[in-house]
């Protein structure tokens, strides 16, 4: 699965635009009074102003070259400051050293940081992808958004069944009950019960609107029943996608 567009809400629109364009260095591709869009490799990431009282936050991950996790961490220190502390959890197969996590089940290293809205953002180097780079790491090294968290209320099995019926995704890692990664190394839904905090902060997820477009073998639109999670599938990137 390839995520070609992701749209989420923010209560700090101007601050977030400065962060993602000036600090991180992603190209700005679209801007309105209530939204902006940056390009992250193969994915467009849009933030839309939250007009109500909610303070939305999300968890999403970005693929980076599989040999550049240490270089990416050093680059983040200069751009963002401190990365989030990572700790080992042996029974989950998670190792950690110098705030770099290693996941045995997926053979991947990851680092985490928080943006001004409090989103938990992950850079992940997936060693099964064999996408080594010899170029110095910078914002253009980031390949795509590869994960988006879908917090759920005791409905992980139902979400697995529904999403599997609408899009070609299969269970990757998880127990299928309270947590499930659904997809592949290019793109995944991270289905998690809201009682389980996101690793590594342990912050309890919240349900906020998500709209996304993924590459698939047919054009379709659907919403995960009971949740504000809208998914559009397109056969190629030239097909019209969500209007902001």
- What pLDDT, in 10s, does the model give residues 34-50? 999 999 999 999 999 99
Q: What is the DSSP string of the chain?
A: -EEEEEEEEES-HHHHHIIIIIIS-PPEEEEETTEEEEEETTEEEEEEE--SS-----EEEEEE-TT-HHHHHHHHHHHT-PPPP---BGGGTEEEETTEEEETTTTEEEEEEE-TT--EEEEEEEGGG-----SPPSGGG--EEEEEEEEESS-HHHHHHHHHHHSS--EEEE-SSSEEEEEETTEEEEEEETTSPBTTTTBPP----EEEEEE-SS-EEEE-TTSSEEEEEESSTTS-----
- Three-state SS for 48? strand
Compute the average pLDDT of residues 115-132. Answer: 97
User: What's the pLDDT score for residue 98?
Assistant: 93
* Distance, CA of 191 to CA of 180 (rounded, Å): 5
- What pLDDT, in 10s, does the model give residues 175-222? 999 999 999 999 999 999 999 999 999 999 999 999 999 999 889 999
Torsion of CA 163, 37, 142, 148, to 10 degrees: -20
* Distance, CA of 147 to CA of 208 (rounded, Å): 16
Residue 239 has pLDDT above 70, yes or no: no
Confidence of residue 82 (pLDDT cuts 50, 70, 90): confident
Confidence of residue 236 (pLDDT cuts 50, 70, 90): confident
Residue 190: name the closest of 218, 159, 235 by CA.
159
Residue 85 has pLDDT above 70, yes or no: yes
Mean of the per-residue pLDDT values of the chain: 95
Compute the average pLDDT of residues 102-120. Answer: 97
Phi-psi region of 86 (alpha: psi -120 to 50; beta: other; left: phi over 0): beta
User: What's the pLDDT score for residue 243?
Assistant: 54
Give residue 31's Cα distance to chain centre.
21
Domain extent listing, the chain: 2-234
Confidence of residue 237 (pLDDT cuts 50, 70, 90): confident
Residue 156: name the closest of 119, 114, 122, 189 by CA.
189
Q: Which superfamily is assigned to 2-234 in CATH?
A: 2,3-Dihydroxybiphenyl 1,2-Dioxygenase, domain 1 (3.10.180.10)
- What pLDDT, in 10s, does the model give residues 1-47? 999 999 999 999 999 999 999 999 999 999 999 999 999 999 999 99
Q: What is the DSSP string of 207-233?
A: ---EEEEEE-SS-EEEE-TTSSEEEEE
User: What's the pLDDT score for residue 9?
Assistant: 98
Q: Is the pTM of this model over 0.85?
A: yes
Confidence of residue 81 (pLDDT cuts 50, 70, 90): confident
User: CA–CA distance from 60 to each of 103, 146, 148 (Å)?
Assistant: 16, 8, 4
Confidence of residue 238 (pLDDT cuts 50, 70, 90): low
pLDDT cut 70: percent of the chain above it? 97
Residue 244 has pLDDT above 70, yes or no: no
The reply to whether omega before 30 is within 30° of 0 (cis) is no
Compute the average pLDDT of residues 139-154. Answer: 98
């Amino acid at each position: 699965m390839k995520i070609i567009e992701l749209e989420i809400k923010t209560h700090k629109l101007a601050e977030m635009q400065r962060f993602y364009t000036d600090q991180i260095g992603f190209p700005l591709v679209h801007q309105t009074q209530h939204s902006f869009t940056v390009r992250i490799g193969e994915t467009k990431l849009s933030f839309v102003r939250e007009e109500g009282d909610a303070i939305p936050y999300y968890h999403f991950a970005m693929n980076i070259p599989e040999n550049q996790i240490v270089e990416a961490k050093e680059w983040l220190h200069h751009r963002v400051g401190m990365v989030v502390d990572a700790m080992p959890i042996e029974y989950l197969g998670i190792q950690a050293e110098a705030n770099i996590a290693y996941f045995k089940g997926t053979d991947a290293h990851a680092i985490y940081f928080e943006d001004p809205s409090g989103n938990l953002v992950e850079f992940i180097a997936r060693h099964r992808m064999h996408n080594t780079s010899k170029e110095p790491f910078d914002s253009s090294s980031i390949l795509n958004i590869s994960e988006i968290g879908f917090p759920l209320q005791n409905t992980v099995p139902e979400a697995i069944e529904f999403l599997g019926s609408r899009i070609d995704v299969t269970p990757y890692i998880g127990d299928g009950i309270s947590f499930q990664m659904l997809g592949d190394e290019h793109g995944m839904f991270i289905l998690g019960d809201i009682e389980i905090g996101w690793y590594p902060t342990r912050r309890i997820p919240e349900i906020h609107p998500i709209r996304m477009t993924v590459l698939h073998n047919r054009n379709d639109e659907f919403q995960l029943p009971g949740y504000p999670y809208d998914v559009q599938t397109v056969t190629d990137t030239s097909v019209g996608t969500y209007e902001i």
